């Protein structure tokens, strides 16, 4: 066993999950940190119109990223289960063939997103006054889809092998690079929103390249024989089968977020800027939930591969307790300080006032948001990926349905945007927990041979 890999099928379940979660959390926070830096620099140096332009691209850009991310997660499920079962040869085949699949999807997504950026943004009813900036930002950001795909792929592979610490190192470096380039391109060179997008793309490339080079140097699973380097249709297809439902789940969620962005756009630039600022804040709140979900997914995959269902159940219960504690803590924080937090992003009093109320509203639903993440982590790790797609469909129906109904009520007005998020978390969280209690996920662990 290499010092850079770790099996989770023995020892304290809680200790494994928490120690795996912490580096993921710091890494995710750093990733969001340089996204936030983009927003702060754009908002303060270029104004609310530029911030709205950046925000208008967020959901659609993520849609293209997320197809590659879903494939990476599916690959991680397979690798974790085979690694837990001790099948080293299959692990190497899956690493290589997943790289082929991710690269192909990354190239296709890049071409589509760059060519059709203006049409997609007009479909979202992006205001004409910010359309040019939004198109420029989106085209540059989406040109880095392959770098983002490569980084998420290598991250998923390392996590499946029990290592969540190494990617953190490269994210810290990338964050420093991103901040420096943001200031250089936007403030010094005056490159506008395009400069902020270019800084992020370069930072993603640095993270991906550094992580891949390190993996080849230190991980024994990256020491391939010729047989591992051949395209194996079965291995590639398995990666697609496990990854596509998760990719569709993420795509459905992204589509629903695009619709919600479109709803925000109809209320004008002030609400668009507020929505962008609150989304940046809530992306931080998502990170502990996401990190815990990812840790539980790897933990579940390895333990099901090793035939330890009992450890999966105990790990889920402990994760739910940790999640609930954080949700309650954040509810208190936003009830007291939400206005001050929004003020970090913009100076306009009207934006701060709307954002203050909006964050107080959505924080009441964080317990359901956390339930989605933790339960999804267990189900994904178990290989219950078809439910992942169903889960995404529920979010689409929830966001589109609530946004359409609530925005049509004059008394609700722009608050429909944030109420929609909370209510969607509520119904999706309940359905996820019901799926866990049903127990079908226990049947989805793959049969692996040593």
Q: Cα(279)–Cα(20) distance, rounded to whole angstroms? A: 26
Whether the Cβ atoms of residue 5 and residue 221 lie closer than 8 Å to each other:
yes
pLDDT by residue, tens only, the chain of 450 residues: 567 777 888 888 888 899 888 888 887 777 777 667 767 788 878 887 887 788 778 767 877 777 788 888 888 888 988 888 888 888 899 999 999 999 998 899 899 989 998 988 888 778 788 888 889 999 998 888 888 889 889 988 998 888 888 878 887 888 888 889 988 998 888 888 888 889 888 988 888 899 899 999 989 899 988 888 888 888 889 888 888 888 888 778 877 887 888 888 888 888 888 888 888 788 888 889 988 998 998 899 888 888 888 899 999 999 999 999 999 999 999 999 888 888 877 778 888 888 888 999 999 999 999 999 999 999 988 888 778 788 888 888 999 999 999 988 988 888 999 999 999 999 999 999 999 988 778 876 544 444
CA separation, residue 406 to residues 35, 275, 426 (Å): 30, 16, 16
* Alpha carbons within 13 A on the beta-carbon side of 291: 28
Distance from C-alpha of 141 to C-alpha of 176, rounded to nearest angstrom: 18
How long, in residues, is the chain? Answer: 450
* CA terminus-to-terminus distance, the chain: 15
Q: What whole-number distance in Å separates Cα of residue 133 and Cα of residue 129?
A: 9
Angle between the 48-84 and 269-305 helix axes, to the nearest 10 degrees? 10
**Residue spans per domain, the chain:** 13-443
What's the predicted TM-score (pTM) here? 0.77
Other CB atoms within a 10 A radius of the CB of residue 409 amount to 10
């Amino acid at each position: 066993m290499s010092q850079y890999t770790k099996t989770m099928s023995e020892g304290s379940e809680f200790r494994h999950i928490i120690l795996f979660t912490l580096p993921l959390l710091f890494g995710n926070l750093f990733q969001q940190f340089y996204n936030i830096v983009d927003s702060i620099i754009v908002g303060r140096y270029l104004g609310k119109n530029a911030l709205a332009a950046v925000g208008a691209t967020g959901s659609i850009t993520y849609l293209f990223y997320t197809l590659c991310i879903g494939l990476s997660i599916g690959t991680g499920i397979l690798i974790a289960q085979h690694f837990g079962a001790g099948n080293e040869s299959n692990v190497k085949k899956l690493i290589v063939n997943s790289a082929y699949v991710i690269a192909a999807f990354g190239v296709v997504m890049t071409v589509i997103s760059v060519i059709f950026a203006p049409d997609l943004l007009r479909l979202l009813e992006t205001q004409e006054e910010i359309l040019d900036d939004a198109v420029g930002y989106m085209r540059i950001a989406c040109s880095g889809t392959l770098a983002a795909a490569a980084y998420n792929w290598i991250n998923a592979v390392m996590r499946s092998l029990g290592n969540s610490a190494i990617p953190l190192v490269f994210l810290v470096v990338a964050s420093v690079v991103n901040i420096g380039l943001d200031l250089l391109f936007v403030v010094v060179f005056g490159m506008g929103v395009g400069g902020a997008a270019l800084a992020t793309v370069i930072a993603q490339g640095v993270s991906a390249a550094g992580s891949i080079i390190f993996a080849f140097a230190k991980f024994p699973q990256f020491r391939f024989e010729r047989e591992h380097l051949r395209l194996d249709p079965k291995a590639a297809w398995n990666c697609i089968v496990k990854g596509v439902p998760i990719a569709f789940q993420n795509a459905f969620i992204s589509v629903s977020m695009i619709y919600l962005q479109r709803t925000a756009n109809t209320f004008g630039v002030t609400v668009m800027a507020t929505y962008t600022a609150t989304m940046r804040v809530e992306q931080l709140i998502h990170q502990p939930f996401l990190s815990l979900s990812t840790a539980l997914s790897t933990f579940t995959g390895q333990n099901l591969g090793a035939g330890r269902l009992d450890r999966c159940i105990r790990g889920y219960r402990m994760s739910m307790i940790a999640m609930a504690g954080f949700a309650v803590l954040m509810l208190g924080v936003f009830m007291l300080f939400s206005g001050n937090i929004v003020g970090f992003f913009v100076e306009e009093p009207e934006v701060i006032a709307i954002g203050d109320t909006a964050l107080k509203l959505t924080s009441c639903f964080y317990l359901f948001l956390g339930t989605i993440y933790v339960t999804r982590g267990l189900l994904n790790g178990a290989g219950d990926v078809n439910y992942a797609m169903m889960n995404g469909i529920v979010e689409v129906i929830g966001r589109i349905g609530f946004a359409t109904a609530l925005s049509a009520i004059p008394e609700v007005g722009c608050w429909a945007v944030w109420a929609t998020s909370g209510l969607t978390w509520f119904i999706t969280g309940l359905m996820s927990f019901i799926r866990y209690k049903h127990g079908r996920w226990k049947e989805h662990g793959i049969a692996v041979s040593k």
